[in-house]
Amino acid sequence: MDKKIVIIPTYNEKENIEKIIRAVFSLEGDYHILVIEDGSPDGTAAIVKSLQKEFPENLHMIERKGKLGLGTAYITGFKWSVEHGYGYIFEMDADFSHNPNDLPKLYEACSKGGADLSIGSRYCNGISVINWPIGRVIMSYYASVYVRKVLGMKVYDTTAGFKCYKRQVLETIDLDNVRMKGYGFQIEMKYTTYKLGFTIKEVPIIFIDRTEGTSKMSSGIFGEAFWGVLKMKFRKITPKKK
C-alpha cells in the first residue's frame, strides 16, 4: 500500500512532458506517473507513448477526447489510482511550476508526519512565488484569504494544485459529487477533506511560473471559485456510501 503515483494532467505540453517525466523518475522512492491527456493537438500523447516503451511498468496514460477540465482530469486519475492499489496519490502540473524535488517532502508529511493530505504551499511562509506578475500574485493570495475566511479552513494556500493524498481520503470522498471543474476544484477537494475530519498539513514550496508552454489560467476560473465557495459553505458534505 506504499505505492506512489503522480497524476499529471496535460494539454499541449510537448515542451515539458518528457522533462517532467524524467525528473520524477530520477527521484529515489519508485514513483509512478499517470498522465491524463486531453487530446492535445501538439503531439503530447505521442511523446508519452514513446516514453512508455522505456518505462513500461511506471508510466501510464489515459487519453480523453478533448479538453474536459482540470477537475474531471484529476477525478479520472484518482479513481484509476485507487482501483490500481496506490497508497499515496499526488497531483502535479506538467510545466515545472511544481518542483519534482518537492515530491518526497509531500510524501513524508503523509507517510511519517501524520497528514492525510499534504499541500505544497506557496503562502504558509509568506509568499513564495517567482515569475508571476504582481497582479496575479495579489489575486491568488487574496483568493486564499477569502476562502479561509468564508469556509473557516486553516489552510493558507487553498487553490494549490501540488498535493499528496493518502488513499483513504480519496476512498472516503464521494468523487462523483465533486461539482467544481476549474481551480475551484482544488478548493472543494481541500474543504471536503477538512469537513470529513482528515488531517491537512502544508509544506512550504517555492512556486515558479512556467517558462515553456502556455498558461491555462482565465478570469472565468476565478469567477467559478468565488461563487462556488459561497455555495460550498452551505452544502452538507458526507462520506461516500459504501
CA atoms within 13 Å, Cβ hemisphere of 179: 11
CB 172 within 8 A of CB 240: yes
Whole-number pLDDT of residue 79: 97
pTM value is 0.92
Whole-number pLDDT of residue 76: 96
Report the distance separating Cα 82 and Cα 88, nearest Å: 9
Whole-number pLDDT of residue 42: 92
Whole-number pLDDT of residue 142: 86
- Which residues, 6+ apart, have CB-to-CB distance to 135 below 8 Å? none
Whole-number pLDDT of residue 85: 96
Whole-number pLDDT of residue 218: 52
CB 59 within 8 A of CB 134: no
Residue with cell string 482565465: 218
Report the distance separating Cα 110 and Cα 201, nearest Å: 8
Report the distance separating Cα 51 and Cα 18, nearest Å: 8
Q: Beta 129-130 vs 200-204: how paired, if at all?
A: unpaired
Provide the β-strand partners of residue 58: none
Whole-number pLDDT of residue 46: 96
One pLDDT digit (tens) per residue for the chain, 242 residues: 689 999 999 999 999 999 999 999 999 999 999 999 998 999 999 999 999 999 999 999 999 988 888 899 999 999 999 999 999 999 999 999 999 999 999 999 999 999 999 999 999 888 888 887 888 888 888 888 999 999 999 999 998 999 999 999 999 999 999 988 877 899 999 999 999 999 999 999 999 886 654 554 555 556 666 788 988 888 889 998 87
CB 55 within 8 A of CB 127: no
Apex 175 CA angle, 152 and 179, nearest 5: 65
Whole-number pLDDT of residue 128: 85
Give the residue from 209, 180, 189, 51 showing the smallest Cα distance to 122.
209
